[in-house]
Structure 1
Amino acid sequence: MKIVRFEHEGNIKFGVLQGEHINVLNGDVFGEYQISKEILSLANVKLLSPCVISKAVCVGLNYHGHAKEMNLELPVQPLFFLKPSSALNHPGGNIEYPSISQDVHYEAELAIVIKKLAKKVKAEEAEGYILGYTCANDVTARDIQKMDGQWTRAKSFDTFLPLGPCIETEIDASNINIKLYLNDQLKQSSNTGDLIFKVPEIVARVSEVMTLYPGDVILTGTPSGVGPMQVGDTVTVEIEGIGRLSNIVV
């Protein structure tokens, strides 16, 4: 099931995406809900980020291929960092190029969407805390990242966390293709089978440190092929079984 969050006639709602139509949901997608009889055309709504986050937890250096291209040793434990809720961006939203950076990069990522409060979750129980998965772009001001020596400022600019277009609730995230296109040119292409730390362990490791709330996301890392974007570029993350997330750099 593909859950979308959208705006229609000034109201924000959730629905189930069915091709070019949306079946509107009544209730709480993180709790109890029902599929209503109201059906809207996808063309008549504005898609929003599929969830509202309290935080985004990101895993750095989590693909074997990315570690190899960076000439870095494989991490022995997951490396976490945060992106603030103010960085959240929507499908089709503009990525704002900061005036203080000269080197902004794309990073295609699979994002885990948390279903219920998660604290000290065991890896074997992690699936029960996951609502589904969505596409993410961990936009990064690479020059600032290198200058600062830590990642908060470089990762946290407004609009630097596009999410969407939907939350796919019925997918095996252990073996799906992930790609990124820059102006229709393929730049990243990998499979989640190349992840160093798999989804259950990631959820367990994060939740032993911090409480995760419904709607929070965990970005699972980016594959090889990261690179720069320029003003005017269109960047598209495509994940098998989920969909395509496109944004324009302005």
Structure 2
Amino acid sequence: MIVRYLADDQSHYGLREGNNIIQLSSDFSEIANGDFKKDGVVHQYNNVKIVEPVRPSKIVNFGWTYAKHAMETGGKAHLKEPFLFLKPLSALIADREEIVLPHNNMTSQVELEGEVALIIGKRGKNILEEEAMNYVFGCTIFNDITARDLTRDDPQYTRGKGFDTFGPLGPHVVTGLDPSNLQITSRLNNKIVQDSNTSEMTLKIPYLISWLSQIMTLEPGDVIATGSPSGSCAIKSGDTVEVEVRDVGKLQNYVR
């Protein structure tokens, strides 16, 4: 597992092994190429501040990749082409940080959407579908917080998806997984509200990566959120939201 954390007022990448983090002197591009330079420092996981596992050039989101979620949110159950939108970097927050609900009367319906996110490991453009997984460094967890009333009314999704703190990510990146068969379970105040598997996606991950790379160049560290299964539901101040992905971990955030 690769984590990014703060220690001595600086951010570092590290290898998490149980409760230990082995500090790395490598940057993300080096790590993605398999160049793990250990610098001899070891931290206890609970003694450091975990931050977002990457600082991407972009956060790319796919919508309606699960038929049931498309139907529950007014979308098309079977798309001919992917439905694409972006989130700003200012939306990113880390594990255990707060989702801050807007207090400007713009929205009255904010919902959670638990997802598997892919972290790109190397630069790619016009990627062949059969080569697509070679560009994926690993998997992490994303919560696509959404102002549902705004995405329902706006002609495009930027406002409803783009508020500060609307992009919880982490807590770490796991390599070597097959993202086509990962169980996703989201809980609201310990109650299961989403329970699905990426095998139920109507658009498959290699196709999504290949299609996306024909539009924009993918860079190391970029985040691709693969879409939410059904069960998206409203959150309110005081709630605790947890997204768990089998073999990846748990992403927990608090709502303010």
TM-score of the pair, normalised by structure 1: 0.96
Who is 2:174 aligned against?
168
Q: Distance in 1 between matches of 2:87 and 2:112?
A: 15
Q: Which amino acid aligns with 2:38?
A: I
Deviation at 1:70, TM superposition (A): 4.5
Contact conserved, 1:65 with 1:194, CA < 8 A, in 2? Answer: no
- Of 82, 88, 109, the residue aligned with 2:115 is 109
| Cα contact 1:13–1:25 (8 A) shared by 2 | yes
The 1:144–1:185 alpha-carbon spacing in structure 2 relative to 1, beyond 3 Å, is: same
Segments of structure 1 that go 5 or more residues without pairing to the other structure are none
Residue 145 of structure 2 is matched in structure 1 by 139
For 1:133 and 1:183, how far apart are their aligned partners in 2?
Answer: 25
Name the amino acid aligned to 1:26. S
- Are residues 1:54 and 2:57 paired? yes
CA deviation after TM superposition for structure 1 residue 65, in Å: 2.8
SS of structure 1 residue aligned to 2:101: coil
Larger mean CA deviation between 69-78 and 189-198 belongs to 69-78
Letter in 2 for 1:50: P
Answer yes or no: is the 8 Å Cα contact 2:66–2:77 preserved in 1: no
Change (3 A) 1:225 1:113: same
Match status 1:85 vs 2:84: no
- Aligned with residue 223 of structure 1, among 229, 239, 243: 229
Tell me if structure 1 keeps the 8 A contact 2:96–2:252.
yes
Q: Alpha-carbon deviation of 1:68?
A: 4.3
The residue that corresponds to 1:158 in the other structure is: 164
Matched residue SS, 1:27 = coil
The 1-side partners of 2:193 and 2:108 are apart by 20
CA displacement, residues 26-54 of structure 1 (integer Å, 9 cap, x when unaligned): 21232233234321101110000000011
Q: Deviations over 1:67-109 (max 9, x none)?
A: 3444643111111111111111111111110122111000001
Q: Distance in 1 between matches of 2:70 and 2:163?
A: 25
Who is 2:27 aligned against?
A: 28
Would the aligned equivalents of 1:109 and 1:219 in 2 still touch at CA under 8 Å?
yes
Instruction: Say yes or no: does 1:15 pair with 2:21.
Output: no
Aligned residues: 249
| 1:116-131 mapped onto 2 (5 Å cutoff) | 116-131=122-137
Contact 2:68-2:77 at 8 Å conserved across structures:
no
Residue identity matched to 1:216: D
Question: What do residues 113-170 of structure 1 show as CA deviations (whole Å, max 9, x unaligned)?
Answer: 0111111111111122111010000001111112213211000011111100101112
Show the counterpart of 1:6.
5
- Report the alpha carbon displacement of residue 20 of structure 1 after superposing the two structures with TM: 1.2
Q: Which moved more, 1:71-80 or 1:118-127?
A: 71-80
The answer to whether the Cα contact below 8 Å between 2:114 and 2:228 also exists between their aligned partners in 1 is yes
CA distance in structure 1 between the aligned counterparts of 2:29 and 2:200, rounded to whole angstroms: 30
Inter-partner Cα distance in structure 2 for 1:144 and 1:69: 15
Matches of 2:92 and 2:208 in 1, distance apart? Answer: 21
Look up the match of 2:200.
194
Q: Which structure 2 residue ranges, 5 or more long, are not aligned?
A: none
CA RMSD of aligned residues (A): 1.3
